[in-house]
Structure 1
Amino acid sequence: CAGVVVSLADKRWYLRQWHAHATLEINLVLRGSGQVLLENRRYPLLPGHLVWLWPGQRHVPAGWSADMLLWIVEWGPEFLPRLRRARRRAAPPPADPAAPFCRRLAAPALRRLDGLLSAVAAQPRPDAFNRGLDFALLALWDEFQAAEPLAACAAFHPKLEAALALLAQPDRDWTQAELARRVQISPFYLSELFRRQTGLALPDYRNRLRLQEFFRRCHARPEIRLLQHALDSGFGSYAQFYRVFTAALGQSPRDWLRQAAPGARTGSGHEKTARASRPGGATGARRST
C-alpha cells in the first residue's frame, strides 16, 4: 500500500471538485473547522469529528479553515468486505449509505486514534504498515460506534438536492431566479435553505464552482491567459475573479502563477504531495494547511 504524511500550506488542495472513488475513506479532525458536502447531506468538521466516506459516495470539501489539521486514511476496495465480516452487519453494504456517518469522539478516544495513526504512518516496512492499517480500520470503526452522533448531519431537503444537481451541470449558468423556478420554490426560500443546510451562501457556492472550473481550464491549457480562463469559467469580470481567488487562496492570481512551477498550474485534484509507494491497496495520510 501507499503511506503518506503530507503538510500543505497551499490552499489549492481543498478546492477539489465533486468526486467519488473506489476506496473507503475516513477524515479525523484534530484542529480547525470546515465541512464535507455530500449529495444529500452535510458533514461538519470540528476537532474530534470522525467522518466515514464510502466507496462511490460523491463528496467535496468546503470552507476548510487555514489551521485545518486532520487525518485522512483510505483503504482499498478489499477492506470493506473485511470490515463487514469482522463486525457483521454493523457496517453498511458497499454502496452509498442513507444513514449519516459523522460522529464526535470523546477526547480520550481522539488521542488514542491520533497516536495509533501516527504509529501506523511511521512504519517503514510494508508488512507492518499493512497490518497497522488493518488494525486501524477496526479501531476507528469501534471508536466511531461508541461516539456521540451529530444532529447537524440531517439529510438535505429534496428541493436543495434538486438545486445542487442543476448547479452541477457544466453547460448551464443558472441565475438564482431560474434555479428557484426549476425547483419550484421562491428565490428567497432557496437562498435561506441553501445557507441553512450547506453552511454556504448560494453566491459563494457558485463562485467556488467557477474557481474549480478555472483551475481545470488552467491545467488543461496553461498557455492561455488568466483573464480568458477566468471569463470562460463564468466570472463576469477580472475584478470578480480576483476577489474570489484572493479570498480562497490568500494570494493574488499573479503571485500564484509566479510561484507555480512549470507544469504545476493545477487546482482540483492536483495537490503537491510527498508520497512513499508500497505494494497493496491502502493509503494513510495526515494533512494540514
Structure 2
Amino acid sequence: MSPTRHDDTGPTRRPLADGERIEWHFHTVNQLACPGLGVLRVFTPTGSWVVPPHRAVWLPAGVAHSHQAHGRSELRCLTFAPERNPLRLERPAVLALSPLLRELIATLTGPEPVGRATLERATLEQLREAPELPLGLPAPRDPRLRDVAALLAADPADPRTLAQLGTAVGAAERTLSRLFRRETGLSFPQWRAQLRLHHALALLAEDRSVTAVAAAAGYRSPSAFVEAFRLAFGTTPGRYQRQA
C-alpha cells in the first residue's frame, strides 16, 4: 500500500457506483465524508468504519484511507485546516448527524451557496456536538489474528469457533483470545459481531431482504439479526432500509 496525496481543499461531491472504490490516499487537511446515499466503508491501517446514510466519518489530516461504496451512493466531503478540529480527534470516527448538520453538508457541497463563511462556522458549531457512534472495527496486527480476520472477512457467516479457526491458522484458542483483547480492545465474539453488523449494513444498502442478509451475515435466524441490529442501531433493519 502506497497512498497518494490528495490536495482537496474545499467541498466536493461525486457519485459512486455500487462497489466502486477510491483507492488508498491521504489528505493534508481534516476531512468530513458523508454518503448522501448508500453505505460507505472506510478502511485505514488500524481498522475499518462503516458509514450509513445520515452519518459521516471524520478523517484527520495525514491518515491513509480508502473508500468503498455499497449501493448507489454519492460522496459528499468537507475539508478543514489541520488546526480546525472541533472534535479534537486524532483518529477516524463515525458521527451521528443532526438534521441541521445534514442540511449544512448538503448545501456546502452543492452549487456555490450564499454566505459560505457563515455556513462553515455553523457546521463547525454543529460538529462540536455530534456524538461518536461505535461503528469501528479494529484491525489486528498479529499475523495469526490477521489470518483469522481474513477468513471471516471473506465469509462473515463462517460458523467456526475460535478454536476451529485457530486450527486453520496454526494458533491455540487461548492465545488468539488473549491477542484479540490486547490488540483490538474487544473479545473475539464482540469483534465478530461487529464484523457481521458491518457486512449486514453493506448488504442492506444493496436492497437485499432482511432474511437474506441475516443468512449471509451469519445470524442463526432473521429474528436474531433483527434483535442484534436493533440493539446496535436503535431501529430494525427493515425500518433502517426504508429510511435509507
- TM-score computed with the length of structure 1 as normaliser: 0.43
Higher strand share: 2
Query: Of the two, which has the highest radius of gyration?
Result: 1
